[in-house]
Every structure is written in structure tokens, then in C-alpha cells.
Structure 1
Amino acid sequence: MHDLPLVIFTILSQLLLGGFVALWWIDRKKGGISKKTGLLISISFLVLGGISLLVSMLHLGQPLHAYRAILNFGVSWLSREIVFYGAFLGLIALSTWFWYKDDAPKRRAIGWMASFIGVVAIFSSAKIYMIPAIPAWDSVNTLFAFFLTSLLLGPLYVAACLAIKRDSAVNISGIIIPVLFVSAIVAVGYFSSLNAGLPEAVEAAKLTFGHVFFWARIATFLAASGLLLLSYVNSKWRSVQIYSAAFAILLASESLGRFLFYETAIHL
């Protein structure tokens, strides 16, 4: 469980990006989100962001010296991740303030900048792992995996929150189902490339297939897909219970997948 802090940090940071962009986009295009609901969701982003930062520091040997990491911004993707993620959280805080002030034009303007910075932060996070020393990580799949997590968890989290508050009905299934389909295609391509790659990559695939978490991830992925498909074809299934259950199941699925990402990595 040494990598558990990294699992939590990467999942939460990616959820935050997808969730912030979803909230901003719905507010900008659809409207109908009350000040109270938007403020509560935005505050929840800040809480999750704070938790992600605290948990990430547990992975460091000397957490009190974490600030030194930004000194290598010019050459280190880790430094860039820290700087851009910190800036992203700062912009979320500013957006939260504008929700509190009920200043729609300013919070929508901040959304453009925050979304861009958040994308760069997740890109930087993925690049940390794309290293030749670990063949299973050194591919575009790592980028796909990180951004697909954002697209799956973030919008569904916001949709569940809106459903709970009965504030603005969003048929999020029409967005999530295509992402689920792409995720499945990417996974098939990824494991095919591992089996055709270096011995270390082949071994990583074997370890993954032999792990109980892999099959639990498949089961949870299919269960969440089934719920969202039902909600897509029948509006009666677009409820608090369905969106919340689908989010919880997908969160478990993505967390299991991220655990396997770290656990089955084989160095050259």
C-alpha cells in the first residue's frame, strides 16, 4: 500500500479537473444552477483539493521540504505538476469566491483559465510516469488513462450533486457512455501493446490479469456502464440514486485500475 497516497492524489486531482470543467460548462451553457448549489459544489472541490494535497505529501520522505520541488520547474515534470496543480486550486478558490458573490460573468471568465491550467496540470502528472525505465507506463495510454478518469468521474460527480440538490437536471449519461466506450477501446489497445512489447511489459500484463483487482475493476466498470445505459434510455432512471451509485461504482473501478497501474509496474 506504499503507493496508496499516489492513487488517492491522482484520482482526486483528475476528478477535480473533470468536475470543475463540467460545473463551469453547465453554468455557462445551460444555466439554472442556483448560487447556493454552485457554491456548495465549488467548496467541495476545494475540500477534495486540500485532501489530495495532504495525502500526496504522505508519499514524500520529507513532507516539510515539499516546497523545494518547485525549484526544478524548468526540467522536472513533477515540479510542473506541483506548480500547475497549485495554480488550478487557486483559480478554483477564486471561482468559489465569485460563486459567493454571485458574479456569473467573472466566474465564467475564470473558468477558461482554470480549465486550461487544470489540463496542463494533469498532462504534467501523466508525463511524470511516461519514462522508458517502465515500459508499461511509457506510452500515450498513461495520458489517455489520466484524462479519461477526469471525463468519467468529474461530470458524474457534478451531475450527482445537482440531482441531490434538485437544482438543474442534467442527462449526463449521454456524455459518459461514449467515454466509457472509448475507455474500453483504449484498455484493449493498451493490453495488446503490452503483450506485443518488451518482456517487462508482457510481465506487467500477466501480473495485471492475475490480480483479483483487475477482475473487480471489470465487474465495477460493467455495472456502472449498465446503470448509465439504463438512465440514458429511460428518463425515470436519471435519479439521485442512479447517478450517485454510478459515481461510487466508477470511483471504485478507477481507483482499482490506478492501484494496478502502480502495483504491476516492472522496471527494466
Structure 2
Amino acid sequence: MGDMALLVFSFCMQAAIGMMFFMTLSHQLYKGKAFKGAAATAAGLSIVGVLASLAHLGQPLHALNSLLNLGSSWLSREVLFSGLFMGIAVLYALVQWYKSDALALSAGLRWIGSGVGLIAVFSMGKLYTTSSVPVWQGINTFVDFYATTIAVGALLFLVLSLKELQGVDKKVYGFAVLAAVILQAAVAIPYAIALGLGGSAAQASAEILSGMSVMISLKWILVLGGAVVLLWPTLQKSIKTEGQSSILIYASLGALICGQFIGRYVFYAGMVASTIGLT
């Protein structure tokens, strides 16, 4: 698939941003935690995402050239904020591992990284919604990107921080994931139905998506099923159930990542442009 590099970029970057957001939230909820594994993973995912973006461009210098159009190009803004987020995520991970006593610096990097990351997701969404591809236009793209950011980010953070979160209230993660995917489905389903009523390019995309109905159904089974499965372990407070809860959390993560990755593949596979190019 020609857009695989873009798929890897958007998925990995959004997952990393979601992890940074939940690291920031969790440091407010649970004092004295380090979450070093989550910090390192978020940094690693952001690096993979940026490398995938460079691979899509073909030549790294093209990314630098795109920064010259910040005033008019959402692609330039996406490159800028994604690069800034990667730099902050890497610096934050290094501080956590080698200078963990620098609490003010860590807090500042977390908050700035979360803000820059959420702006980067908006820039990604704006890039696609202002393109000539009808299936990407509209609020569905923003909801899909932010839902992936919240759901995958929360679950990855939770899995990587299970030891540190043992015995504490984890329901905020379960409710966040469930709310994100319910909103994602609530927007996507009527949007897909309305797509067939659009112009020729929109109808062509609808026809492509119709041919992928089994894959799309599998996506929603995995995404919604994974979110529902996550509720039980995150609502448990007994230490005796931690082992069983961990298994369910891992299963939920696997289902959700597979489902969201399938959804992102469908996002690119349904592309039919009414004119040429992204803006």
C-alpha cells in the first residue's frame, strides 16, 4: 500500500501523543510515580512516526523545505508540531531516566508536550479535511484521530505502567477509552451512510468501503469489544484480582490496536480525490 508510511506516521504519532497526555494526567492523580517505561515508549513511537513521515516524503530535506510555508500550509504545521513533539518526548524520556529529581523540568515538559501533541493531532486532521478527498472531509476525521490518540494512548500507558498503578483506582482509563470509541462509532456510522449521497468521488469512496465491509465490521468488533473488556479490570480495586485484570488489559490492548490499525488502513484505502493533491 503506497500510503503505509503515512499510516505508520499518523498511528504511531497519535499513540505517542496519547501516552504523553495520560502521563500528564496520571502524574496529577498519583503523586510520586515515575512511569519511565511509558516515557521511553512514547519517545520511541514518536521517532518511528517521524521516520515514517520522512520515508513518505522520499527525501528528508523536503520536510525542512515544507517548514517555509507555515503561514499557508497545514502540511508545514503538521511537520512542525510533530517534530516539536518528538523532540519534547525524547527530552522528557531522557530526563525521566537520567535526571528524575528535576521535578519542575519534568512537569514542564509533560504539559508542553501534551499541548504541542494535541495541536499536532489537530494539524493532521486539518491537513486531511482540507484536501480534495471527500471521504476525509468533515468532522469524522478529527474524531477518528483524537479517538485513536485517547484510546490507544491510554491503553498503552496503562499496560506499560501496570506495576506502578497496582492497587490504585484505574477506572479513569477504562472510561476514557470507552467514551472515545463510542464517540468514534457514533460519528463514523452516520458519516459513512451519508458518504454515498455525495458527488462522484464520494460515491466511489463509498463503493470501495462497501467492498471492505467485513474488514470494517471487524474493526468495530475489535475496537468496541476491547473497550468493553477493559472496563472490568479497571473497575477492580482488590489486589487479589490484579493478575487476572492484567490479562484482560493486555487482551483489550491487542484488540484495540488491531481494530484501530484496521480503521486507519481503511481510512487511506477509501481515498478517491475529486481533484489532485493535498493542501
Letter aligned with residue 7 of structure 2: V
Aligned twin of 2:14: 14
Within-5 A mapping of 1:46-195: 46-99=43-96, 100-102=98-100, 103-131=102-130, 133-163=132-162, 169=168, 170-171=170-171, 172-195=173-196
1:49 deviates by 1.3
Partner Cα distance (1:168, 1:106) in 2: 28
Q: Tell which deviates more after alignment, 10-19 or 133-142.
A: 133-142
Letter aligned with residue 208 of structure 1: L
Partner Cα distance (2:61, 2:68) in 1: 15
Aligned partners of 1:98 and 1:104 also within 8 Å: no
Partner Cα distance (1:24, 1:98) in 2: 15
Aligned twin of 2:226: 224
Aligned twin of 1:213: 215
1:232 deviates by 5.0
Aligned partners of 2:178 and 2:228 also within 8 Å: no
Aligned twin of 2:269: 263
Letter aligned with residue 17 of structure 2: L
3-state SS of the aligned residue for 1:136?
helix
1:216 deviates by 2.3
Cα gap change, 1:143 to 1:63, in 2 (>3 Å): same
Structure 1 segments of 4 or more deviating over 6 A?
Answer: none
> Kindly, what percent of the aligned residue pairs are identical?
26
Partner Cα distance (1:189, 1:77) in 2: 27
1:168 deviates by 6.7
3-state SS of the aligned residue for 1:239?
helix
5+ residue gaps, structure 1, are none
**TM-score under structure 1 normalisation?**
0.90
Cα gap change, 1:168 to 1:14, in 2 (>3 Å): farther
Letter aligned with residue 200 of structure 2: P
User: CA RMSD, aligned part only?
Assistant: 2.1
Partner Cα distance (1:24, 1:40) in 2: 14
1:16 deviates by 0.9
1:74 deviates by 1.6
5+ residue gaps, structure 2, are 275-279
Q: For 1:84-128, what per-residue CA distance to the aligned partner results, in whole angstroms no more than 9, with x for missing partners?
A: 111112222332243232222321222222111111111111111
Q: How many residues align?
A: 265
Partner Cα distance (1:59, 1:185) in 2: 32
Q: Tell which deviates more after alignment, 170-179 or 224-233.
A: 224-233
Aligned twin of 2:252: 246
